[in-house]
Amino acid sequence: MTEQIAFSTRAAHAGRRPTIQYASRPIVAPIYQTSVYAFDHLEDLEAMRDGAPGHLYYRNGTPTHDVLEHAIAGLEGAEAAACAASGMAIISAAVLAVAQQGDRVVADRNAYGGTYTLLTQELPRCGIEADLVDATDLGAVERALAGHPKALLIEALTNPTLRVADVPRLCALGRTAGVPVFVDATFASPALLRPVELGAMLSYHSVAKYLGGHSAAMGGVASGERALIDAIRQKIARLGGCQGVMDAWLTVLGLPTLPLRMAEHSRLGLEIATFLESHPAVARVLYPGLASHPQHALAERLYPRGCGGMLSFELRGGAAAARHVLNELKLIDFAPSLADVTSTVSYPYATSHYQLPEQVLEDLGVSQGLLRFSAGIEAGADIVADVRQALEACPR
C-alpha cells in the first residue's frame, strides 16, 4: 500500500510506527519525546481508563516518567511516586491533594524560604491556613496536631540551618493524631534517609539537587501511599505542573551513582565543617555531623551513613565578611542551588530567603553573615585550601 500513498503523506507518518522488533534492548531507558499517544481502538482507551498500562497526554506522564517514578518508589520503599516540574510544584500539589478552603496544615517554621512563602502567602489565598511550629519541639507539634490538621510538613534537615527533625517520633505523633506526615528529604536523599520506611505518608525531593546530582535536571518527585500519589498526580495534571521528559531522563541517569556520591558528599562535608569550626573568622558552623551540633546524637542515630554535604557557617564579620568570601573564592562557585558534584556556596539572605521579612529571618537564624556550603566530591585538600585563602583578611 505504500506505493499508493503520496510522498507528503508518507513523510508526515515517517518514523511514527515501530517497524522492527529487535533481539536486544537498550541498557539505558530511552527518551519518549512525544506529547500525545494514539489508540487503535476506543476500547484501548477505555481499557487504559480501567487500569491497563498506557499513556494519553504529556501532562499525564510518559514512559520516561514511568521509569523515574518506578525507580524512586523502589529507592524510597514506597508504593508509588509522581513527578512534577519542580520541588515547589510537588509540595504545592501535595498540599492541595489533601487540603481545601477552610482547612489547616501544620508545618515547620524553619522551612526553606520558598516553602515558607507558599505556606504564609499562597496557601492563605486558597483559604488554607498554615500553623507554623518548631518541628524540633515535639510538645509544640503534638499540641498543633490536636486540632486535626490535614497534614504535617517537615524538612528532614532544614534549609539552611541544618536542624534535624526526629522523623520517626514525628511520624508517630502524626499516626496518633491521625495526621499524615509529609517529609522534605532533599538534603538527605534516599541514600541517607527514607522517611516512608520510618512512617511518613509522603517523602518528596527537588530532583535538581542530589537525585540528579549534576545541576542539569529540573523537577520534583514525591513517593508514598498509592492513593495519595494518585491524588497528587491529578493535581499536577490539572495545574499543568508536569516535568519535562529530558529532566526525567537526566534524573534517571543520575540515580545509579547516588549512594556513591552521597558517601563522598558526606566525607567532604564533615571535612569542611571541621576546618571551619576551628577558623577564627567563623562564629559558628551548622552541620549535624559535628559533635558540637545540638542534635548530633539524633543525627548519629538517623544518619549512620553520613549527614550529607550540606552545611552552613556564620562569619563574625557579618555581611562584609560574607561579601569578601564570595568574591575571593576561586575554585568554589557562588550559586543559589546545591548538591552538584562540585562544591558551591550560597548566600541565603540574598537568594533562597531573599523576600522574607527581617524579623522572620532573625527568628530562623538566617543572618547577613550566614553562608550555606554544598560539599561536592572533590579532594578535601583542594576545597579546604580555597576556603582558607578566601577567609584570609576576612572582616571580623
Tens of pLDDT, residue by residue over 109-122, are 999 999 999 999 99
pLDDT band at 7 (very low <50, low <70, confident <90, very high): low
Res 1 pLDDT > 80: no
pLDDT of residue 21: 77
Q: Indicate whether 340 pLDDT > 70.
A: yes
- Confidence bin at 333 (pLDDT 50/70/90): very high
pLDDT at 252: 94
| Cα 343 to chain centroid, rounded | 18
Strand partners, 346: 372
Query: How far is Cα 376 from Cα 262, in angstroms, rounded to an integer?
Result: 9
Ranges 187-191, 252-256, 358-362: which has the least confidence: 358-362
C-alpha cell at 223: 513517593
Handedness of CA 317, 320, 322, 327 (dihedral sign): negative
Using an 8 Å Cβ cutoff, are 369 and 315 in contact? yes
Q: For 393, left (φ over 0), alpha (ψ -120 to 50), or beta?
A: left
Largest Cα–Cα distance in the chain? 83
Per the prediction, the chain carries an average pLDDT of 95
Domains of the chain: 42-257 (3.40.640.10), 259-391 (3.90.1150.10)
**What sign results for the dihedral spanned by CA atoms 31, 85, 87, 185?**
negative
Task: Indicate if the pLDDT at residue 357 is higher than 90.
Answer: no
**E strands, 140-260, where?**
152-155, 181-184, 202-206, 220-224
Cell 582558607 belongs to 388
CB 202 within 8 A of CB 222: yes
pLDDT at position 2 is 52
0.75 cut: is pTM over it? yes
Q: Parallel, antiparallel, or unpaired for β 181-184 and 202-206?
A: parallel
pLDDT at 16 over 80: no
Give tens-digit pLDDT for 142-184.
Answer: 999 999 999 999 999 999 999 999 999 999 999 999 999 999 9
- The per-residue pLDDT for range 218-231, each reduced to its tens digit, is 999 999 999 999 99
DSSP annotation string for 34-53 = -SB---SSHHHHHHHHTT-S
CB atoms within 10 A of CB 374: 27
Residue showing cell 496544615: 105
CA angle in degrees (0–180, nearest 5) for 86-90-96: 140
